[in-house]
Amino acid sequence: MFAGTFERNLDAKGRLSLPAAIRSELGEHVYVLPAPDVDALYVFSNEKFEDWALGLFEKRGGFNSRKREDQALMRKIMARATPMDIDSASRIGLSETLREKAGLNREVTVVGNWDHLEIWDRAKWAEADADDEGDEDLFFDE
């Protein structure tokens, strides 16, 4: 499970140093893809990526490789995912294409979101987080 908020800076080569607090949860390899719902990148461990991708088919009764529409959706998911290794300094390299798709600049915020991490441009995260002010009611029954 991933939780927490961590401010980081990308280096000149676009590498992100992963927070030590969550590094051990990721393993040696990750999948990175543009988030389908926000301007950020998703980062999954190998296991969690497979669970997430297959979970997209639950309402359809599960992934069926013999259905054209399931194949088309899986193809889109897999085409957008970039497998990468975590280097010996606990960094992942974010390509210029990935950074552009998520609107990332040098200053980023890494946010834990249950089964994955999200990498946000720091200013966009601050704005999104401020929009959540007053959401305390979500935590309590009335």
Bridge partners of residue 40, in order along the sequence: 120
Identity at 92, one-letter amino acid code: I
pLDDT of residue 141: 66
- What is residue 31's three-state secondary structure? strand
Question: In this structure, which topology does domain 5-136 adopt according to CATH?
Answer: Chemotaxis protein chec (3.40.1550)
- Does pLDDT of 131 surpass 90? no
pLDDT of residue 99: 98
pLDDT in tens, 1-53: 999 999 999 999 999 999 999 999 999 999 999 999 999 999 999 999 999 99
Q: Which residue has the tokens 């497998």?
A: 83
Altogether, the residues listed in the chain come to a count of 142
User: Packing angle between helix 68-80 and helix 46-55, nearest 10 degrees?
Assistant: 150
Q: Give me the phi and psi of 114, to 5 degrees please.
A: 65, -85
- Reported confidence tier of residue 142, pLDDT bands at 50, 70, 90: low
pLDDT of residue 64: 97
pTM score, whole prediction? 0.93
pLDDT in tens, 49-72: 999 999 999 999 999 999 999 999
- Does pLDDT of 134 surpass 70? no
Q: Which residue has the higher pLDDT, 136 or 5?
A: 5
Q: How many CB atoms lie within 10 A of CB 73?
A: 16
Bridge partners of residue 41, in order along the sequence: 34, 119
